[in-house]
Amino acid sequence: MIIVFLGAPGAGKGTQAKRLAAALGLPHVSTGDVLRSAVERGTPLGKQAASYLNRGALVPDETMLGIVAELLDRGDASRGVIMDGFPRTEPQARGFDRLLEERGRAVDHVLLLDLSEDEAVRRLTARLWCPACGAIRSVGGGGPAVGDACPCGGRLEKRSDDSVDVIRARFAEYRRLTQPTVDYYRSRGTLKSVDASRPVDDVAAGVLAAVGTAGAPRRAAG
């Protein structure tokens, strides 16, 4: 099953995509995590992508399609994949359809996590992440602080692209480039909208309902 998460920065794509991946037993692919890890490791991809990430700009479509083609051919993607942060432009969406068609596959569900920009900015400025496991935690109200331990053993940090200037740039990119992607999927009838302003468990239930597995616990194989 191929499932795509769309939504503005801060709408909760990472959190919900991870939960759905665990519920369905499918790999979670965050293109942002792939790029951040490449930047941290200083790989050729990382060197190319760093300046885009630091400015909140989108990495070129051809680069992204190359990354995703490789990911689709990994053995663990054979049953399906939960895409988080890709496709993010209409050319990426069309290119993704082509890559899938070449492999006899197609997008099954596109989920738009719907959240106002004000609420999304509030969430982004109040979050920390763990570079070791990718977990996102909210600060304030007794929540964790920078440098605190993550349950996985890593240390919580502020994501370098969660500064106010970069957040603004990421929203501008969202409106300019990702909104047409939303329209593309809407016109094809594959898009379902989930209200992302609710508590995280309610959004997760909405996501499961949207993919037609509402509340069903996953059974172990055999």
Kindly list the catalytic residues.
Answer: 13, 88, 127, 159, 170
In the complex with ligand AMP, the residue whose CB is nearer, 15 or 31, is 31
Is 112 an interacting residue with respect to ligand AMP (CB under 6 A)? Answer: no
DSSP one-letter string for 128-196: EE-TTT--EEE-STT---TTPBPTTS-B-B--TT-SHHHHHHHHHHIIIIIHHHHHHHHHTT-EEEEET
Please enumerate in sequence order all residues whose Cβ is within 8 A of that of 118, keeping only pairs 6 or more positions apart, or say none.
none
Is 64 an interacting residue with respect to ligand AMP (CB under 6 A)? Answer: yes
Structure tokens that stand for 114 in this block:
């719907």
Q: Is 28 exposed, middle or buried (0-12, 13-18, 19+ CB in 10 A)?
A: buried
In the complex with ligand AMP, the residue whose CB is nearer, 86 or 184, is 86
Nearest Cα neighbor of 18 from 30, 10, 8 is 30
Region of 51-59, 119-127, 141-149, 213-221 interacting with ligand AMP (CB under 6 A) = 51-59
Is 9 an interacting residue with respect to ligand AMP (CB under 6 A)? Answer: yes
Other CB atoms within 10 A of residue 173 CB: 18
Give the integer Cα–Cα distance in Å for 161 and 53. 7
Is 32 an interacting residue with respect to ligand AMP (CB under 6 A)? Answer: yes
Is 86 an interacting residue with respect to ligand AMP (CB under 6 A)? Answer: yes
CB of 32 to ligand AMP, least distance (A): 2
Give the integer Cα–Cα distance in Å for 15 and 4. 14
Residue facing ligand AMP at closest CB distance: 32
Is 12 an interacting residue with respect to ligand AMP (CB under 6 A)? Answer: no
| Half-sphere CA count of 103, side-chain side, radius 13 A | 20
Is 181 an interacting residue with respect to ligand AMP (CB under 6 A)? Answer: no
CB of 137 to ligand AMP, least distance (A): 15
In the complex with ligand AMP, the residue whose CB is nearer, 78 or 160, is 160
CB of 221 to ligand AMP, least distance (A): 31
Give the integer Cα–Cα distance in Å for 100 and 69. 9
CB of 215 to ligand AMP, least distance (A): 28
Contacts to ligand AMP by CB under 6 A: 9, 31-32, 35, 52-53, 56-59, 64, 85-86, 88, 92, 161, 170
